[in-house]
Amino acid sequence: MRIPTKIDLHTHSTVSDGTDTPEALLQCARAAGLELFSLTDHDAIKGCEQIQALRGADDPRFLPGVEFSCRDEEGKYHILGYGYDAKTEAIRSTVAHGHSIRMRKLRMRLDYLKTQFGFAFPEAELEALLALDNPGKPHIGNLMVKHGFAPTKEIAIKDYLDQLRIRSEYIRPEEAIAGILGSGGIPVLAHPCYGSGDELILGPALEERVKKLMAFGLQGVEAFYSGFSEKLRAELLALAERCGLYVTAGSDYHGTNKLVPLGFTGLEPKMELVDGMRRFLERVSGAPG
Average per-residue pLDDT for the chain: 93
**237, 210 in Cβ contact below 8 A?**
no
Answer whether 34's CB lies under 8 Å from 61's CB: no
* Cα gap 241→66, rounded to integer Å: 24
- Burial of residue 128 (CB within 10 Å: 0-12, 13-18, 19+) is middle
Task: Give me the pLDDT at residue 44, please.
Answer: 93
Mean pLDDT in residue range 12-31: 95
Q: Which strands, in side-by-side order, build the sheet including 61-72?
A: 7-8, 36-39, 61-72, 75-82, 186-189, 220-225, 246-250
Report the pLDDT averaged over residues 154-175.
89
The pLDDT tens digits for 252-272 are: 999 988 889 999 999 876 667
Q: What's at 161, amino acid-wise?
A: L
Domains contained in the chain, CATH given? 7-96+183-284 (3.20.20.140), 100-163 (1.10.150)
Supply the pLDDT for residue 195: 87
Strand 7-8 to strand 36-39: parallel, antiparallel, or no bridges (unpaired)? parallel
Mean of pLDDT values over 221-239: 95
Nearest by Cα to 214 from 230, 229, 231, 192: 192
Lowest model confidence (mean pLDDT) among 79-83, 182-186, 192-196, 239-243: 192-196
Q: Which residues pair with 96 in a beta bridge?
A: none
- Whole-number Å distance between alpha carbons of 266 and 93: 34
- pLDDT for residue 111 is more than 60: yes
Q: How many residues does the chain have?
A: 289
Helices (H), 137-268: 137-146, 153-159, 173-182, 203-216, 230-243
Tell me the pTM.
Answer: 0.90
Which range, of 13-22, 89-98, 224-233, 261-270, averages the lowest pLDDT? 261-270
Predicted local distance difference test score (pLDDT) of residue 136: 86
Question: In angstroms, rounded to a whole number, what is the distance separating the alpha carbons of residues 10 and 66?
Answer: 9
Res. 1 pLDDT band, cuts 50 70 90: low
User: What confidence score (pLDDT) does residue 4 get?
Assistant: 86
Sequence-ordered list of residues with C-beta below 8 angstroms from that of 129, at least 6 positions apart, any chain: 106, 121, 135, 139, 140, 143
Bridge partners of 82? Answer: 65, 186
**pLDDT at site 49:** 95
Is the pLDDT at 226 greater than 80? The verdict is: yes
User: Residues 94, 142, 156, 104: is their CA dihedral positive or negative?
Assistant: negative
DSSP state of 4: P
User: Strand, coil or helix: what is 212?
Assistant: helix
Tell me what pLDDT residue 168 has.
66
User: How far, in Å, CA of 11 to CA of 5, rounded?
Assistant: 17
List the Cα angle 17/24/285 in 5-degree steps.
90
Give, for 63, the enclosing helix (H) or strand (E): strand 61-72
